[in-house]
Amino acid sequence: GEDVEQSLFLSVREGDSSVINCTYTDSSSTYLYWYKQEPGAGLQLLTYIFSNMDMKQDQRLTVLLNKKDKHLSLRIADTQTGDSAIYFCAESPLASGGSYIPTFGRGTSLIVHP
């Protein structure tokens, strides 16, 4: 995941908003994603944004995309203890052979305190 950068840890209080940031490098990526990994489980897609959009909102989740700075953020409103997990930013750059292959960041561990 060297082309996708995220901070490793974020700690928030229950009820506050969480903002997880990510920078990516590949301008050919058509979609950008946020995945969630709970302990002992695989990754699950939380949300995605098409590269020609600036913002996408889905219930408590807001994704902001700044294409000029190649910066993606995920805001979780009213963060709950059940939101504690690792959040991965991902892009799908065009690989050799013409396929789009998901590339993941290192993941941000979100810890929510009661």
Binding region for other proteins (CB under 8 A): 1, 8, 30-31, 33, 40-45, 48, 88, 92, 95, 97, 99-107
Alpha-carbon span 22 to 40, nearest angstrom: 24
User: To the nearest whole angstrom, how small is the minimum distance from the Cβ of residue 109 to other proteins?
Assistant: 10
- We find the least distance from the C-beta atom of residue 47 to other proteins, in angstroms, to be 10
Q: Which residue, 11 or 17, has its beta carbon nearer to other proteins?
A: 11
User: Burial, 112: exposed, middle or buried (Cβ in 10 Å; 0-12, 13-18, 19+)?
Assistant: buried
Q: Which is nearer to other proteins, 14 or 61 (CB)?
A: 61
The least CB distance from residue 52 to other proteins, in Å, is: 14
For residues 8 and 55, which CB has a smaller minimum distance to other proteins in the complex?
Answer: 8
CB nearer to other proteins: pick between 18 and 107: 107
Alpha-carbon separation of residue 107 from 19, 22, 68 (angstroms)? 13, 9, 23
Q: Which residue has the tokens 């944004």?
A: 49
Amino acid at 93: P
**Please, how many CA atoms are within 13 Å of residue 56, restricted to the half-sphere of its CB?**
18
